[in-house]
Structure 1
Amino acid sequence: MPSQWFATWRARWMRIKRLGELGLSGVLLLIGALLVVALIPALPGVVSNALAGDIHAIKTLLVCTAGIAVCVFQWRWRTAIYPQLRRDASQEKQS
């Protein structure tokens, strides 16, 4: 009887962890999308300032590009980053 109770709660906990990991990866993807939306209107001015040698514009471009890349890559390879999603993906491939 206790093992059935434990198994039920363990399954629930795994679902909660999976939803949390999916939620976190979705939030990070949303942050990347917001970075893109915020950068697009400023892009012509930032690029022209960067080409003129403005160090702050160069840093802005590098940080925004790196932030967008991290957000997109973590979404693209989320099964490699989040262990619960990796377990679920390997179970789905076997089925």
Structure 2
Amino acid sequence: MKTKWIDTWRDSLARVKRGGELGLSGLLLVVGILLSVALLPELPGLVRGTLAGDGEAARTLFVCVAGIAVCMLQWRWRTAVYPQLRRDTSQKNTP
């Protein structure tokens, strides 16, 4: 009787952790999209400044592109980054 309660509690905790990890990965994806949208109008000026030799423009462009890449790659590889997403919680282990 006690093990059934513990198994139920474990399943509930696993679902909560899975939902949290999905939520966090989704939030980071939205941050990457917003960063892309914010960079888009400034992109011509940053590229022009980088080609002209402006170090600050080059640094800003690099940081923005790296931030977007990290956000997109963590979404693409979210099952590697968030361990709870590797398991399918809808399937129960039967002994």
> Same-fold call, TM > 0.5?
yes
More helix by share: 1
> Structure 2 unaligned runs (5+)?
none
**Displacement after TM superposition at 1:88 (Å):** 2.2
Q: Which residue of 1 aligns with 2:48?
A: 48
Partner of 1:69: 69
Residues 21-75 of structure 1: per-residue CA shift (max 9 Å, x gap): 0000000000000110000000011110111111110001110010000000000
Q: Which residues in structure 2 correspond to 1:79-90 (within 5 Å)?
A: 79-88=79-88
Q: Provide the rounded CA distance (Å) in 2 between the counterparts of 1:88 and 1:63.
A: 35
Q: Percent identity?
A: 64
Inter-partner Cα distance in structure 1 for 2:60 and 2:14: 39
Partner amino acid, structure 2, of 1:38: A
5+ residue gaps, structure 1: none
CA–CA separation in structure 2 for the residues paired with 1:83 and 1:12 = 16
Q: TM-score, normalised by structure 2?
A: 0.90
What is the TM-score normalised by the length of structure 1?
A: 0.90
Report how far residue 81 of structure 1 moved: 1.1
Q: CA RMSD in A?
A: 1.3
- 1:87 to partner: Cα distance: 1.8
Rounded to whole Å, the distance in 2 between the matches of 1:57 and 1:24 is 30
Question: Matches of residues 1-95 of structure 1 in structure 2 within 5 Å?
Answer: 1-88=1-88
The list of structure 1 runs, each at least 4 consecutive aligned residues, that deviate by more than 4 angstroms after superposition, is none
Q: Distance in 1 between matches of 2:73 and 2:45?
A: 27
